[in-house]
């Protein structure tokens, strides 16, 4: 229990990080609507200023400040990172993060879906002065060392002490018609949006512009994710506008490479986190096995296209309110809907998704530093029926935040463990499906400061589908960037429509719409004459009438009713010989194949019942089902 002397300090930290200035012990923390990054910043300040430690999951599971304070533990600070910084040369090469290494490795064409850089691309209509903006960019290059970073052939990165003066290249197209200007924009989009920066050559970003008329410009901006994650890109643009407007810029007290110094003193935490994930590995689902129009290995160079939907500020407010009612964070709600749709379209009970997190190790002094702080968190989602969605989502949220506490053992390391354990060389467990939420508080209007966002797209090697959530001036954009060579246009469009429809149904459908007596009475009229014939009876009828007709048509075999009857009888005999009788439960492990149907029919013929289970079901969930159902036997049909 924390001493009362800390309470005032804790309250002051909350006041400094929210717009609400009146706090007491019963203040509802959820209603503060804090983003994950803001929570991390608060936790970092509690650690550095109050010498107390609160786990992330404890924070999000606490309803009030009093409940949160009860979970505080006192701790002793380890050697500070700031002290260590004086012991190094800031311009010496230093190691890569695991995600930077993955990005560089993915540029190799020998890997599936490789041969491209990790790249973010934006287009704006703006009235900013290009010369003044160039000056702002130059100042930001001086402030932010990762904007002067290059990557060396030996697998390290290096900050350049001095770089050439940066100028935006401007092409004057004011003499062209509007149609001709649009043609030129499209030409540049096709060239720049798929650009691959050379990591050994500075700079790893570029601004260029078309002058449309006396006051208006069309600005192109792209950047390699090796030097800037999603939050850093927004910080970059946010800083540029402040410098452009001559606002005072706070001095940076940290460096991107500080994260390596801190890791040297967190070996104990890393070992604990590794043990957590090793114990959990058997309960992780495979990635969605979606329908592709060609084999992944046949895609030479992936090209990304985008599906997107804008929820207006008013609509997003309703989403936040509905999520608040169920104590579910909006990002978790969207992630749950995304995973549910992926589960549906891949016909899997559960799926794994790589969630992008922007991990700054709870160090508040790094919150304005540009760099690739990206870390991946591999999360598993199990689908349930629609009526249970919100309760299932709360459990999923609790699991997510428990996993998040153990993020020092990264998602890439977890995936490597899964690949090493898998007997299937073609396993989809590498989780090429990604979710990235950029619902950041401080940078909500950053794009408006630059101009009107006209177009954007991202590309990432060895990724099939990347869902991004971005807050802009008009509201919140939900976008899917997908490899166009893999998906039929109609299928990906229908998947996205399905996803948006699920969100709208969950948020905007009234829960009170079926309150009238007439509707309730009509709904509860369930009496209906039931056909007393069983599935086995119906099969026998078809078998007697048409024994030589095709009963099962699959990719690699066809079975007549006569053949299906004979093979299922063999299964029935096998089950009887192993003690299975009428009324028993038998688990069927398999996919939608002819063998599975043979097994199911064989079970039903002796009066037993079958429990269908996916072959990739986590071990613990399987054991729970066996125990709860009193399952007598497992029939593997794969």
**Are 542 and 510 part of one and the same domain?**
no
Q: What is the CATH number of the domain that holds 449?
A: 3.30.559.30
Angle at 330 between CA 441 and CA 473, to 5 degrees: 45
Q: Where residue 15 sits, what CATH number does that domain have?
A: 1.10.1200.10
Q: What is the pLDDT of residue 67?
A: 76
544 plus 502 within the same structural domain: no
DSSP structure class, residue 6: G
Residue 301: inside a domain, yes or no?
yes
Query: Residue 638 CB: number of other CB atoms within 10 A?
Result: 9
Q: Position of tokens 């991390």?
A: 40
Burial 148-182 (b: 16+ CB within 10 A, else e): bbbbeeeeebbbeeeeeebebebeebeeeeeeebe
The number of CA neighbours under 13 Å toward the Cβ of 262 is 20
Q: How far is CA 428 from the centre of its chain?
A: 16
Same-domain status, 67 and 114:
no
Query: Could you tell me the strand order of the sheet in which 119-126 lies?
Result: 169-172, 205-211, 217-224, 119-126, 452-459
Listed as ranges, residues in the chain with pLDDT below 50 are 1-3, 76-84, 386-387, 424-429, 512-520
Kindly give the residue spans of alpha helices, DSSP state H, lying in 444-560.
Answer: 446-450, 489-508, 517-524, 535-545
Domain with residue 555: its CATH number is 3.40.50.980
Using the structure block, give the residue that is written with the tokens 């499209």: 186
Predicted TM-score (pTM) of the model is 0.72
Query: Which of 439, 380, 389 is CA-nearest to residue 617?
Result: 380
Task: Give yes or no for a contact between 312 and 472, defined as CB atoms under 8 angstroms apart.
Answer: no
Is 530 part of any domain?
no
User: Per the domain annotation, does 209 fall within a domain?
Assistant: yes
Q: What is the pLDDT of residue 429?
A: 38
Q: How confident is the model at residue 485, as a pLDDT? A: 94
Residues 272 and 365 in one domain: yes
Please indicate, yes or no, whether residues 289 and 419 belong to a single structural domain of this protein.
yes
Q: Is 79 inside any structural domain?
A: no
Looking at residue 11, what DSSP letter applies?
H
User: Looking at the structure, do residues 101 and 13 belong to the same domain, yes or no?
Assistant: no
Residue-wise pLDDT for 226-271, tens only, equals: 999 988 999 999 999 999 999 988 888 778 887 665 555 557 788 8
Range(s) of the domain holding residue 501: 94-517
Residue 292 · residue 492 · CB < 8 Å: no
Q: Are residues 376 and 463 in the same domain?
A: yes
Among 74, 107, 132, which residue terminates a domain? 74
Residues 407, 290 share a domain:
yes
Examine the domain organization and report whether 259 and 384 are in the same domain.
yes
Residue 529, domain member (yes or no): no
Statement to judge: residues 285 and 348 lie in one domain: yes
Would you state the pLDDT for residue 610?
Answer: 93
Nearest to 146 by CA among 88, 94, 196, 221: 94
Of 488, 517, 546, which residue constitutes the final position of a domain?
A: 517
Residue 82 lies in a domain: no
DSSP state letters, 321-360: HHHHHTT--HHHHHHHHHHHHHHHHTT-SEEEEEEEEE--
Alpha carbon distance 430, 286 (integer Å): 8
Of the residues 483, 517, 551, the one at which a domain ends? 517
pLDDT given at position 265: 52
My answer on whether 505 and 539 are in the same domain is no
Check whether residue 542 and residue 482 sit in a common domain.
no
Indicate the number of domains in the chain.
Answer: 3
Is 379 among the domain residues? yes
Residue 7, domain member (yes or no): yes
Tokens for 310, please give them: 């804008």
Structure tokens at 153: 């052939």
């Amino acid at each position: 229990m924390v001493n009362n002397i800390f309470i005032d300090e804790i309250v002051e930290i909350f006041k400094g990080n929210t717009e609400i200035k009146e706090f007491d012990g019963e203040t509802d923390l959820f209603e503060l609507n804090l983003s994950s990054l803001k929570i991390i910043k608060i936790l970092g300040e509690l650690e550095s200023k109050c010498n107390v430690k609160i786990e992330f999951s404890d924070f999000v599971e606490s309803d009030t400040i009093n409940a949160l304070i009860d979970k505080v533990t006192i701790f002793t600070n380890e050697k500070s990172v700031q002290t260590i910084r004086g012991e190094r040369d800031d311009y010496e090469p230093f190691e890569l993060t695991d995600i930077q290494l993955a990005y560089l490795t993915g540029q190799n064409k020998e890997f599936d879906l490789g041969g491209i850089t990790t790249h973010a691309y934006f287009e704006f209509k703006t009235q900013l002065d290009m010369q003044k903006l160039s000056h702002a960019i130059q100042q930001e290059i001086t402030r932010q060392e990762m904007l002067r970073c290059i990557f060396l052939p030996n697998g390290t990165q290096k900050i350049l002490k001095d770089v050439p003066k940066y100028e935006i290249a401007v092409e004057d197209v004011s003499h062209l018609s509007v149609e001709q200007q649009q043609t030129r924009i499209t030409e540049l989009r096709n060239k720049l949006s798929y650009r691959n920066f050379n990591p050994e050559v500075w700079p790893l970003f570029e601004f260029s512009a078309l002058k449309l008329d006396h006051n208006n410009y069309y600005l192109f901006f792209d950047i390699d994710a090796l030097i800037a994650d999603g939050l850093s890109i927004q910080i970059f643009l946010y800083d540029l506008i402040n410098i452009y407007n001559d606002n005072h810029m706070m001095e940076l007290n940290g460096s991107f490479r500080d994260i390596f110094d801190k890791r040297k003193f967190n070996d104990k935490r890393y070992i604990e986190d590794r043990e957590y994930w090793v114990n959990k590995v058997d309960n992780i689902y495979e990635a969605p096995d979606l329908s592709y129009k060609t084999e992944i290995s046949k895609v030479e160079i992936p090209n990304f296209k985008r599906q997107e939907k804008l929820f207006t500020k008013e609509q997003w407010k309703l989403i936040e309110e509905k999520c608040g009612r169920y104590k579910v964070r909006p990002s978790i709600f969207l992630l749950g809907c995304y995973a549910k749709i992926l589960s549906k379209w891949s016909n899997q009970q559960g799926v794994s998704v790589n969630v992008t997190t922007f991990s700054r190790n709870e160090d508040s002094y790094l919150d304005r530093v540009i760099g690739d702080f990206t870390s991946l968190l591999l999360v598993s989602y199990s689908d349930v029926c629609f009526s249970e969605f919100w309760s299932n989502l709360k459990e999923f949220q609790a699991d997510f935040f428990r996993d998040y506490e153990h993020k020092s053992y990264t998602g890439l390391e977890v995936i490597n463990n899964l690949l090493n354990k898998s007997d299937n060389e073609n396993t989809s467990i590498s989780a090429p499906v990604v979710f990235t939420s950029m619902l950041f508080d401080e940078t909500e209007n950053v794009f408006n400061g630059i101009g009107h966002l006209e177009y954007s797209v991202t590309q990432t090697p060895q990724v099939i589908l990347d869902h991004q959530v971005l807050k802009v001036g008009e509201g919140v954009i939900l976008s899917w960037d997908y490899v166009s060579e893999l998906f039929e246009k109609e299928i990906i469009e229908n998947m996205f429509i399905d996803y948006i429809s699920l969100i709208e149904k969950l948020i905007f459908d009234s829960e009170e719409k079926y309150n009238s007596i007439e509707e309730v009475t009509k709904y509860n009229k369930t009496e209906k004459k039931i056909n007393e014939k069983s599935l086995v009876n119906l099969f026998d009828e078809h078998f007697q009438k048409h024994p030589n007709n095709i009963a099962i048509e699959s990719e690699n075999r066809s079975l007549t009713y006569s053949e299906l009857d004979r093979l299922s009888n063999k299964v029935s005999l096998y089950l009887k010989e192993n003690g299975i009788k009428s009324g028993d439960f038998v688990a069927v492990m398999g996919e939608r194949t002819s063998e599975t149907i043979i097994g199911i029919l064989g079970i039903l013929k002796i009066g037993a019942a079958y429990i269908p289970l996916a072959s990739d079901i986590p071990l613990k969930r399987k054991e729970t089902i066996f125990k709860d159902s009193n399952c007598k036997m497992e029939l593997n049909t794969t």
